Structure 1
Amino acid sequence: MMQRRIAKSELDVMEVLWVRPGLAASAVHSALPEGDARSLQTVKTLLSRLVEKGALRSEPDGRRFLYHPLITRDEYTASATRRFSERLFGGRAAPIVAHLAKGDGLSDTDIAELEAIIRELKGDD
């Protein structure tokens, strides 16, 4: 289980490995978005940190290591959302939605999706 939070720079590496698990550091580096100026050594440092945090496992493959996520993107998203909600909104969902709605952050599609989720939760489908 992951012990510490994932930093933004580490999350970029995790995004690559969630899509293509089992890559070596050089392949992770190559798969980062075009224009990402991080060096291969920086990527190796980020991978090591993620292994220490329990977010990745490394598997020897000759002289290199292959990296595999130990947490799913959904698990990370749920954990990060929970921390965000607790820190800013006392763990309540309604104030988050209200905040988004007041800031014009909800499109008609978002509202329709929220209505469908509420109907499903209430058993009204």
Structure 2
Amino acid sequence: MTERISDAEHSVMEVLWQESPLTAQEVAERVPAERAWSANTVKTLLGRLLAKNIIAHEEDGRRYRYRPLVQRSDYVVGESRRMIDRLFGGKLTPLVAHLAERDAITDQDIAEIEALLKDLKQ
């Protein structure tokens, strides 16, 4: 994905990744309630995502149904890479060290990381 998406656009994408195609009204009904967005706000965000070629739409009578063009897993990979590049010079070890220094890694996290590293070595 070449274009970045805002936090607001990301909320819309999470809805579409969970279920699609959906109408703008259906997206508005599924966006977390704390957003308190009107259908017009959701339509604006859908328009931005269309312009960025991150979603597509098809006509369904008098309304449009929207669907993602980008898989969630691909988005997560890109965003993770950008964050590591920007904040930690592209290195994973400083990120883990940063989290560990701030007690942000639990014993469960350590066990999962150890299991992952074991699998990667094989």
**Normalised TM-score (structure 2):** 0.96
Output the CA distance in 2 between the equivalents of 1:119 and 1:82.
22
Residue number in structure 1 paired with 2:88: 89
Which residue does 1:17 correspond to in 2? 16
CA contact (8 A) 1:3 1:54 kept: no
- Residue pairs, 1:1-125, within 5 angstroms: 2-123=1-122
Give the % identical residues: 48
Q: Displacement of 1:3 after TM fit?
A: 2.7
Deviation per CA, 1:30-88: give whole Å up to 9, x if none. Answer: 01112321111110010011111121011111111101111111111100000001001
Q: List alignment gaps of at least 5 residues for structure 2.
A: none
Paired residue secondary structure (1:65): strand
Cα separation, 2, equivalents of 1:35 and 1:106: 28
| Distance in 2 (alpha carbons) for counterparts of 1:16 and 1:97 | 30
- Determine helix, strand or coil for the equivalent of 1:35: helix
In the comparison of the two structures, how many residue pairs are matched? 122
Unaligned runs of 5+ in 1: none
Cα RMSD for the two superposed structures: 0.9
SS at match of 1:29: helix
* 2-structure distance, mates of 1:103, 1:86: 20
Post-superposition offset of 1:21? 1.1
8 Å contact kept, 1:24–1:65: yes
TM-score (norm 1): 0.94
